[in-house]
Amino acid sequence: MSKRIGLLGGMSATSSQLYYAELCRLTQARCGGLTSPDLILRSVDFAPIEQWMREGEWDAISDLLIWEAKMLERAGAEVIALATNTMHNVADRIQDHLTVSLLHIAEATAASLVSKGHQRPGLIATKFTMEQSFYTGRLSANGLETLVPAADTRDVVNGIIFDELCKGAVTEESRAIYMKVAADLAFDGADSLILGCTEVGLLLNESNTPLPVFDTTTIHCEAIIDAAFSEPL
């Protein structure tokens, strides 16, 4: 029997759909048959959270997500994960209020990079993830030197995420922009590329970038499934 997964999502809904599909795929690949993950999904309304992000109201976001994560734990979740990179800004606060583990996406990503011998990943993500230490600090603590695009490019990348990808909109124009960003990071010395927003994989993959790609959605889901199927201590 696997542990019950509590997935805190809706940030965006597109991201949660990607997570659910990947968790189902990984469970099927591991177990075969008609097996699917034992999972509780709590999908919150992203609109007020996005407004709080723009206003810097991280305490309000933290309070909400702590409440929701505790509700998942009360419902029997034994492994909890945030289906988003940016909301890991409050991951430590959430973990402080749980008795079960919150699986941190940056820790899983760092472990994957280190295991494959990379040291200077480029990062494409929201401005919050690219500019604040809650994410890059975790990578640095694992011996990684993270490269991010220039400030004006970060604005463009961020706009595409919130105006298009979070709404499930995929355009070839935006794909070309992201491909150029990835190429510039490679030129600047990146030895790998972190798709550091769970929707970025809608535009970029191994076939259209010059660097080895580390898709955080896939990496996080693999860590979640590994934890769910791990033996109890």
Active site residues: 84, 197
How big is the chain by its Cα radius of gyration, in Å?
A: 17
12 cis-preceded (ω within 30 degrees of 0): yes
Which of 132-137's residues contact partners 24+ apart within 8 Å by CB, and which partners? 132/89, 134/88, 134/89, 134/91, 134/106, 135/85, 135/88, 135/89, 135/106, 135/196
Query: Is there a contact between 35 and 27 (Cβ–Cβ < 8 Å)?
Result: yes
Query: In which order are the strands placed within the sheet that holds 101-102?
Result: 39-43, 5-9, 79-82, 101-102
Report DSSP state, residue 201. Answer: G
CA dist 2 → 56, 74, 229 (Å): 38, 18, 5
Tell me the two tokens of residue 44. Answer: 């919150």
